[in-house]
Homo-oligomer: A and B are copies of this chain.
Amino acid sequence: MGAVKNKRMPRAVRERQMLDAAVRTFGQRGYRAASMDEIADLAGVSKPLVYLYLNSKEDLFTACIRREAKALTAAVRAGVQPGLPADRQLWDGLRAFFTHTAENPDGWAVLHLQARTHGEPFAAEVAATREELVVFVTQLIAVAAREAHRNPSLPDREVAGLAEALVGAAESLATWANATPGVSAKQAAATLMDFAWAGLGNLMESRPWSGSGPADGLHR
């Protein structure tokens, strides 16, 4: 009883409806608990059609992961302008990230919660996306180091850990912001930016990160 049954739609449209339904169902119920029946129902199509187009539950879930992963990285990329200074890029990226996850809570749940919970076919899929973000952050850190004329560059492993920590914090904050009424994407981004750029120690001494871009009131 999900959507109205429209007969004879082009395949691409039908597939999108199915993926929409699947993302929503997987995101809310989890991979195992979601039933193909419910998904087909929510998509407004018959079950055999789902199998015809998407092959199997596993493939369907993989397709969901791929679509949502692509959407997330695209959103982050679209939010960032390569030429700007590193901290500005980070700030822009974080805002895009938090905005997108807030607008697509089910997709985010699929990526962050569900996909990692279930065995190898899926964890690998999502790990690749995550890696992409980590690499993006890693490069930003490297750029920032260059910009700061920092001589003895940080060891790679150290940088990897920092990027990992930053991405992990972002992921947690995204889930937290989704679950906490009254926390906007912008606030989440600001909190993390402070945390990441200035560090707690500096915050204690009242020196929050203040942005390096144009004075457009980046946060607060």
* Residues of A bordering B, CB below 8 Å: 29-33, 87, 113-114, 116-119, 141, 144-145, 147-148, 150, 152, 154, 157-158, 161-162, 164-173, 175-176, 183, 187-188, 191-192, 194-206, 209
Contacts and interface: CB of A to CB of B under 8 A. Distances in A.
B205 A148 contact: yes
A205 B197 CA distance: 12
Contact of A165 (B117, B141, B169): B169
B118 A165 contact: no
A201 B204 contact: no
Nearest to A206: B150
Given A33-B118, A165-B169, A172-B172, 10 more contacts: A113-B113, A144-B204, A152-B206, A157-B187, A161-B183, A164-B176, A168-B168, A198-B199, A198-B202, A199-B199
A118 B195 contact: no
5 contacts: A29-B119, A117-B117, A161-B195, A195-B196, A202-B202
